[in-house]
Homo-oligomer: A and B are copies of this chain.
Amino acid sequence: MSDLEHAVLGVIWLRQPCTAYAVRQAFEQSPTAHWSGSAGAIYPLVRRLEQRRLLRSAARRGDKRATRLYRLTRRGLAELQTWLRPPLPDAPGLMNVDPLRVRVRFWRALSARDRQAAIEEAQAKLRRQLARLAARTRGLRAAGDEFGYLVGRGAALSIRAQLAWLREVRDRLAVIGP
């Protein structure tokens, strides 16, 4: 089972009973762009999870649409817990993937001016992202969503690490020149 399948299980567990549409929104509104929450991904996936008896569903009463409300079965919760508990994926699979870092590997191909510009743009975008995230995270904390808050903190620390790293990159490149 893929990480997306497990994450969907998790989202439904947090919000149950909820529709597949609500799951889509949860992914669409997520600050990371890793999963789009596209209809073509979510609806077939949710159906698969129900066929495997990890989810069960019921029609929303007094709704003439095909709307279905999903909940986790006991097996579904067990599967979610197995995914969350040790053993975790190996260290490489645990390391996060940074699209900025991927690019910097090849910055030798850039002029000093272009590097400078790239650093400044990345800093600006990351700072804006950090501000958005902070607002969002405060809301979660106020709403009593402890784990949502912690995840927000993790994202913030991660962006700060990126910013600190960018400063290091800037300083070092200034020293070594073109």
A residues adjacent to B (C-beta < 8 A)? 3, 7, 10, 13-14, 31-34, 77, 80-81, 83-110, 114, 117-118, 121-122, 125-126, 128-129, 132, 146-148, 150-151, 153-155, 157-162, 164-165, 168-169, 172, 176
Contacts and interface: CB of A to CB of B under 8 A. Distances in A.
A93 B103 contact: no
A10 B140 CA distance: 41
Secondary structure call for the A interface: helix
B99 A84 contact: no
B92 A100 contact: no
15 contacts: A7-B105, A14-B106, A32-B95, A34-B97, A77-B109, A80-B109, A85-B118, A89-B99, A91-B129, A98-B155, A101-B151, A154-B162, A157-B165, A158-B165, A160-B161
B94 A126 contact: yes
Q: So how many copies of this chain end up in the complex?
A: 2
A122 B157 CA distance: 17
Contacts of A100: 88, 94, 96, 154
Contacts of A169: 150, 154
A37 to B, nearest CB: 13
Contacts of A164: 157
Nearest to A72: B109
Contacts of A101: 96, 151, 154-155, 158
A158 B155 contact: no
